[in-house]
Amino acid sequence: MTRTKIAGIGMYVPENIVTNDDLAAIIDTSDEWIKERTGINERRYVTRYKESSATMGTKAAAQAIENAGLTPQDIDFVIFATLSPDYYFPGCGVLLQRALQMREIGALDVRNQCSGFVYGLSIADQFIKTGMYKNILLVGAEAHSLGLNFSDEGRNVSVIFGDGAGAVVLRPATNPGQGILSTHLHSNGADAEMLAMINPGFHSGLYNNNRRPPVPGKPYGGMFVTPDQVANHDFYPTMDGQAVFKKAIEKFPEVVNEALTANGYTVNDLDLLIPHQANLRISQFVQKKLQLRGNQVFNNIQQYGNTTAASIPIALYEAYQAGRITEGNLICFAAFGSGYTWASGLIRW
């Protein structure tokens, strides 16, 4: 059966760098507090009214397509993973198709939050293995900053997330030893509210950024809001950090081992683990639990924060550019996040 390889990689992050000290100037936090809990030094934020998930994804996609030696007209199918779309509907996939002036190809939007890129990778792999498509563009992009709660009540979430985009072009592998070996997808909604935006009554995108604080009893985002919804900050992402951390350090190693075992490998065979950049402390715990060496794990959350669906392709791009990935390497992607969903993919580069 045909295997799927990554033929091109691209990334884009906004120019606007936001340090921990910048956040400490507007909310009750500090550089030391953020570093201790997350390992993050800085993150990037979009320029409001000028950048969005779709615009960033388009720039990362253009780079990935060029890197693959293709043009936008060569792409057969688009998969766009994001939790922060420009519109509630339609999805970002069609906005990217329009921006790159592609043919009238299919565009699929994936809403699996932190696991979105690996879910998209699995979907693309099936299409290519069956021969339905030849060149698939997979994008992960997030404009978190447009929808975060920059108050003292929201600091536990807001200090973690950043904006950015990553993209890959997937196509059939010509080398039989190369490509995606397997993908593994999971979910359990029992604790869905532990990391969620309960009421998406705001609009985070580029084309309608005239957001205002919700007022009880007034129409907001096509609905009426209650005083409790305002008081509980239901219009912003919320997280039970301890619950998420506890589940993440259980599922991350589990899904990595699942991928390795399915293909007859052990952690000693792994050249590089690229985890979704959730929290540096989570990555360090997973590294220790799997008994991986430092050079077997790639982290860049220190510079970009958690960019959810964009974090793996951004990290992949930087790892490749840094010479951490060479032909024949065994690479594992792993993600865990809201839903809960978790996933892994094993690739022979």
Return the active site residues.
Answer: 114, 276, 306
Q: Count how many residues are written for the chain.
A: 349
Could you tell me if 11 and 318 are in contact, meaning their C-beta atoms sit under 8 angstroms apart?
Answer: yes
Structure token digits, residue 221:
């985002």
User: Could you tell me whether strands 106-110 and 77-81 are parallel, antiparallel, or unpaired per DSSP bridges?
Assistant: parallel
Say if residue 245 is exposed, middle or buried (CB neighbours under 10 Å; 0-12, 13-18, 19+): middle
Could you tell me if 19 and 41 are in contact, meaning their C-beta atoms sit under 8 angstroms apart?
Answer: yes
Could you tell me if 114 and 309 are in contact, meaning their C-beta atoms sit under 8 angstroms apart?
Answer: yes
Could you tell me if 8 and 168 are in contact, meaning their C-beta atoms sit under 8 angstroms apart?
Answer: yes
Identify the helix (H) or strand (E) that includes residue 273.
strand 272-275
The dihedral region occupied by 197, where left means phi > 0, alpha psi between -120 and 50, and beta the remainder, is beta
Could you tell me if 106 and 323 are in contact, meaning their C-beta atoms sit under 8 angstroms apart?
Answer: no
- DSSP string spanning 83-143? SS-SSSSS-HHHHHHHHTT--S-EEEEE--GGGHHHHHHHHHHHHHHTTS-S-EEEEEEE-
Question: What residue type is assigned to position 178 of the chain?
Answer: Q
Residue 312, classed as helix, strand or coil, is helix
